[in-house]
Amino acid sequence: MQEAKRNYGWGMKDVTLRQLRFLAEVARRGTLAAAAENLHLTAPAIAQQVRLLERSVGLPLLERGPGGQRPTEAGRLLVATATRIEDELAQAVEQLQTLRSAGAGHVTLGAVSTAKYFAPFVLAAFRDQHPELRIELRIGNRDEVLTWLDNYEVDLVVMGRPQSQLEVEQVAFGKHPYVIIAAPEHPLARRPSDAAPIPFTDIADETFLVREQGSGTRLHVDALFSDIGQPIKVAMELASNETIKQSVMAGLGLALISAHTIAAEVQDGRLAVLNVAGLPIWRQWRVVRLARRAASPATAALWGFIQSEAADQLPKCDLPGLAESKSQATLR
């Protein structure tokens, strides 16, 4: 029985962690030369270890494609295995550090770009309570942060509802409103404050500035137009909230945007929030982690802190037309 448990088949008992690391680096970099440069080795040394690994498993692990070397199906399986092993080793080191130094550790938070307006304040408050921890923050769009989470590049993610194939644990910690903004000089922004809300069908005739495909904000605006069965008139597709805000100020169109990103501009009179029927769209901020991944002590501490304290760091949304709409808002 003991011998059966140790029978890995196809020579897997001869596979080394070094070989797995080399394969993963080639898969990430796309070429043997780039992998060798990053690992401070020679390309032939890398190639030899990958060949030995292929001989051990009995399958090709790399194939040449348009962008260079790409992992085969077997290669992807071993790269994923290498990633999990590296993560387990890193977690073991962190837990050993915790045992040695009463709480030392490292945690990386990923956040969608809309969350960059409050995520640094959340981490600053967390660091005040855990000054011994090393903390990192990475900002990206929805697809990017989910990729980082899946690849173990970040420990937790702050975003809206993941809506992905990943098996995750998620907890809502704060309300998140979306509104439509215009330049203060726009005719729709000059309506009397006591006027009836603007029907969304009237708004739909305007041109819109939108985020790139893959962002949560883009999903929301596409859903609005899908609900009324009307195509959106896209003036420009832009990759950041800041660029969208500046373009709206310039009069290039309207935009659906998180109210958490525009408080300063509205207060200064550089942007106007339109009173549109059915808006704001109310969503929830969530903290998300992989279900399959064991949480380190540092990750567990940040997970709990975000759930209990992060709502206090959300931007204040005392914006025109926002409070009046809350009674009609729907959380999803």
Check whether residue 194 and residue 123 sit in a common domain. yes
Instruction: State the pLDDT at residue 213.
Output: 86
Instruction: State the pLDDT at residue 300.
Output: 92
Instruction: State the pLDDT at residue 120.
Output: 97
Q: Which two three-digit tokens encode residue 11?
A: 């020579």
Instruction: State the pLDDT at residue 92.
Output: 83
Q: How many CB atoms within 10 Å of residue 93?
A: 13
Check whether residue 123 and residue 206 sit in a common domain. yes
Instruction: State the pLDDT at residue 318.
Output: 67
Q: How many CB atoms within 10 Å of residue 332?
A: 10
Cβ-based neighbours of 95, under 8 Å, separated by 6 or more: 296, 297
Check whether residue 208 and residue 260 sit in a common domain. yes
Q: How many CB atoms within 10 Å of residue 159?
A: 25
CA atoms of 175 and 38, how far apart (whole Å)? 43
On whether residue 90 sits in a domain, the answer given is: no
Q: Say which amino acid occupies 146.
A: L
Strand pairing partners for 158?
Answer: 111, 287
Sign, CA torsion 128/129/130/135: negative
Give the range of the structural domain holding residue 131, as residue numbers without chain letter: 103-332
Check whether residue 64 and residue 183 sit in a common domain. no
On whether residue 319 sits in a domain, the answer given is: yes
Instruction: State the pLDDT at residue 2.
Output: 43
Whether 261 contacts 117, CB under 8 Å? yes
Instruction: State the pLDDT at residue 247.
Output: 97
Check whether residue 180 and residue 143 sit in a common domain. yes
Q: What is the CATH number of the domain that holds 46?
A: 1.10.10.10
DSSP-derived secondary structure letter, 296: P
Check whether residue 127 and residue 263 sit in a common domain. yes
On whether residue 330 sits in a domain, the answer given is: yes
The four Cα atoms 123, 129, 130, 134 give a dihedral, to 10 degrees, of: 20
DSSP-derived secondary structure letter, 152: T
Pairing of strands 105-112, 133-140: parallel
Check whether residue 150 and residue 67 sit in a common domain. no
H helices, E strands: number in the chain: 12, 11
On whether residue 94 sits in a domain, the answer given is: no
On whether residue 97 sits in a domain, the answer given is: no
Q: For 187, how many CA atoms within 13 A lie in the half-sphere containing its CB?
A: 4
Say how many domains are in the chain: 2
CA distance readout (Å), 237 to 79, 81, 145, 201, 202:
35, 38, 20, 21, 21
Instruction: State the pLDDT at residue 11.
Output: 56
On whether residue 119 sits in a domain, the answer given is: yes
Q: Is the pTM of this model over 0.75?
A: no
The closest alpha carbon to 54, from 77, 30, 80, belongs to: 77
Output the tens digit of pLDDT for each of the chain's 332 residues.
344 444 444 557 788 999 999 999 999 999 999 999 999 999 999 999 999 999 999 999 999 887 788 999 999 999 999 999 998 888 888 777 765 554 568 899 999 999 999 999 999 999 999 998 999 999 998 889 999 999 999 999 999 988 778 999 999 999 999 999 999 999 999 999 889 999 998 898 899 999 988 787 888 899 999 989 999 999 999 989 999 999 999 999 999 999 999 988 998 999 999 999 989 999 999 999 999 998 888 899 999 999 999 999 998 876 655 554 443 333 33
| SS3 track for 267-291 | HCCCCEECCECCCCEEEEEEEEEEC
Q: Quote the distance between the C-alpha of residue 197 and its chain's center.
A: 34
Check whether residue 119 and residue 43 sit in a common domain. no
DSSP-derived secondary structure letter, 107: E
Check whether residue 259 and residue 327 sit in a common domain. yes
Check whether residue 204 and residue 261 sit in a common domain. yes
